[in-house]
Structure 1
Amino acid sequence: MKITLIIPTYRRPQDLARCLEAIKAQTRPVDELLIIVRDTDELTQTFLQIYNSEFLPLKVLSVTTPGVIAAMNVGLEAASGDIISFTDDDAAPHPDWLELIECHFVVDENLVGLGGRDWVYLDKQLHPGKLTEKVGQVQWFGRVIGNHHLGTGWLKNVDVIKGVNMSFRRRAIAQLRFDPRMRGSGAQVHFELAFCLALKRKGAKIIYDPTVAVNHYPAQRFDEDQRSDFNQTAYINQVHNETLSSRGDDWLKPLAV
């Protein structure tokens, strides 16, 4: 199967360099690598002009609209792979990441979405936390359980996977795109929730395998959402996006698995 990897990036060239080196080290090479760069991001554009992309099928695409959703949708429009994978510029996939992704989609023809663990590192130390088998669930009353960075055990069916480590069968997602109604000028929290729930409502199979792993080094954001500090605008955007994700708009064409 042909794999397209999409990486949105914004003003984090050092992180992107680490990510690209991890892609070079994959035991199963990527077939198409799409880097999505904001048109105003001269820092990243300069880095990519001098970066040694030898052995990488790298294409740089430009986006004019702020936010990760616009960037990812630009990538989806250009992707030609049978499998479309996503990771963040501040992540470093494990060497067998693409190999395991392809194996899952080859073995299970009904598989639409695949996620895995992101090993979170803060100040070069692995983020502590209790491992759990309860991952990626939306409870009956609407509470979303993430825990993708703490997942353990064997394969499990899930409702949502995490943007730093997610893959989809292109034929199955058809014309579905990330919802541009999501608020935020950068991270646009819960974009994965809306996308995955739209698929689940059509009966899509989405699984989580903790061995399909990336290292995640949460880097600086350049918007109102600063991770550790409360921001009223970011909180309002988060609530809006989560509410929008749970509405269940029927805007997904029938799956063609």
Structure 2
Amino acid sequence: MSTTLPISVVICAYTEQRWDDVHAAVASVRAQRHAPFEIIVVVDHNPALHARLKASLPDVTVVENREDRGLSGGKNTGVAVARGDVVAFLDDDAVAAPGWLEAFAGHYDDPKVAGVGGLTLPLWPGSTPSGALVDDPVPATTGTRPRWFPEEFDWTVGCTYRGLTPGPVRNVMGGNASFRRDMFPIAGGFSSGIGRSFHKRPLGCEETEFCIRLRQRSPGSELIYDDQAVIWHRVPSERARFAYFRERCYAEGLSKALVTQSVGSQDGLASERAHALRTLPRGVLAGVSDAVKGDRAGLGRAGAITVGLAWTAWGYAMGQYAARRRTRRSRRLVARAGPGDVRGREETT
């Protein structure tokens, strides 16, 4: 296992409301057994926060997002600044276990490994506050999970979901991920048209689209999920509510439609098909079985799985419909312009 692999850690921040969270995230990276080569905090179009973090974190590289607003632009900025052989990403409202980078580093002795992701566990409402995690990144309590909330849908709060097993995977989760830095020129950066930005809906999938694109352009590369690379991710109380759960599922469907437009439906939906056909039916049966045994919340979990799948599928259908409308509109504009006008436009762009 490599003990000297230089790993740059990128944390993207955007709001003063996560001030304690950001400092806890940075402290957890400083405490790694495999010391980071550098810590980079990218601030997303918030000059006041940039100035405050730069003053409070003098030993950290604090930079402003140089690209479009959102996670994709922030990550691309971090990669451009990074000097390590590997670039790791940690969410600004998460803390890493002391062995996080050590687990990542162990896989990069294999030249086929292009990226490694880890296990993300939820910090539910009532968990250890961020201020306490500055001194010790291991939470004393992880709070209370809503009894209706199915583990199969923990991805809706940015965490590892039931059904994901260690080993090779199609994509890793963006808030707990690492990639060889030399893969970015091959795959290209994160797409600014996908994922969290100034959009009101809680979109995602920028890391999914990036990972698929990486594998398509570098077919011999592997992406690995290692459940020993552990982080804890905070879940605010508003994201532990059913209304957010349903909205996040719908937004995921919209995001998946964007992903399939970029990389194709075969790769873009391969993992989702397996999850929907195998893991989710088992989850529904388990919920019903729990209810029969006296756990009434089991019916809530079974119902949430059913609603979550339906809302995700509905979001995907609406995303596909919107894409077809955009395509038809573009074709009509081209037809009205005529070949000469189109050729002239191409020559001037």
Which TM-score tier does this pair reach, normalised by the shorter chain? 0.7 to 0.9
* Mapped contact 1:182–1:240 kept (Cα < 8 A): no
Query: Would the alpha carbon gap of residues 192 and 227 (structure 1) be closer, same or farther in structure 2, given more than 3 Å must change?
Result: farther
Which structure's relative contact order is higher, taking Cα pairs within 8 Å and 6+ residues apart? 1
Give the share of equivalent positions with the same residue, in percent.
23
For 1:109, which of 108, 111, 116 is the aligned residue?
A: 111
Cα distance in structure 1, aligned partners of 2:231 and 2:249: 31
Question: In the aligned structure 2, how far is the partner of 1:235 from the partner of 1:4?
Answer: 29
Q: CA deviation at 1:170?
A: 1.5
Give the deviation of 1:215 after TM superposition. Answer: 0.6
Q: Distance in 2 between matches of 1:205 and 1:101?
A: 13
Q: Which residue of 2 aligns with 1:24?
A: 30
Q: 1:48 aligns with which of 41, 53, 58?
A: 53
Deviation of residue 166 (structure 1)?
0.5
**Which of 167, 185, 189 is the matching residue for 2:197?**
185
Q: Aligned partners of 1:19, 1:195: CA distance in 2, in Å?
A: 24
What is the CA-CA distance between 1:200 and the residue it aligns to?
A: 1.9
Please say which of residues 230-239 and 212-221 is displaced more in the overlay. Answer: 230-239
Q: CA deviation at 1:122?
A: 1.3
Q: Secondary structure at the match of 2:103?
A: helix
| Superposed CA RMSD | 3.3
**Kept after mapping to 1: 8 A contact 2:205/2:252:** no
Q: Larger C-alpha radius of gyration, 1 or 2?
A: 2
Instruction: Give the 5 Å matches for 1:149-168.
Output: 149-150=161-162, 155-168=166-179
Unaligned runs of 5+ in 2: 128-142, 266-349
Q: 1:95: which partner in 2?
A: 98
1:141 is aligned to none
> CA offsets per residue over residues 166-191 of structure 1, 9 Å max, x none?
11111233342001232652464110
Q: Which protein is richer in strand relative to its size? A: 1
Aligned pairs, number: 227
Within 5 Å, give how 1:121-140 maps onto structure 2. 121-123=123-125, 124=127, 125=143, 127=145
Q: TM-score, normalised by structure 2?
A: 0.57
Q: Which has the higher helix share?
A: 2
For residue 251 of structure 1, what is the aligned residue in structure 2? none
Secondary structure, aligned partner of 2:247: coil
| 2:230 is the counterpart of 1:213 | yes
Cα distance, 1:38 vs. partner?
Answer: 2.3
Q: 1:210 to 1:63 in 2, by over 3 A?
A: same
How much does 1:239 deviate? Answer: 4.6
SS of 1:168's partner is strand
Measure the CA separation in 1 of the matches of 2:252 and 2:116.
28
* Secondary structure, aligned partner of 1:185: coil
Structure 1's 183 and 96: CA in aligned 2 closer, same or farther, altered over 3 A?
closer
Question: How far, CA to CA, are the matches of 1:161 and 1:51 in structure 2?
Answer: 31
Which amino acid is 1:38 matched to?
D
- With over 3 angstroms needed to count, the CA separation of the structure-2 counterparts of 1:230 and 1:188, relative to structure 1, is closer
Residue in structure 2 matched with residue 60 of structure 1 by the alignment: 62
- CA distance in 2 between counterparts of 1:61 and 1:96 reads 26
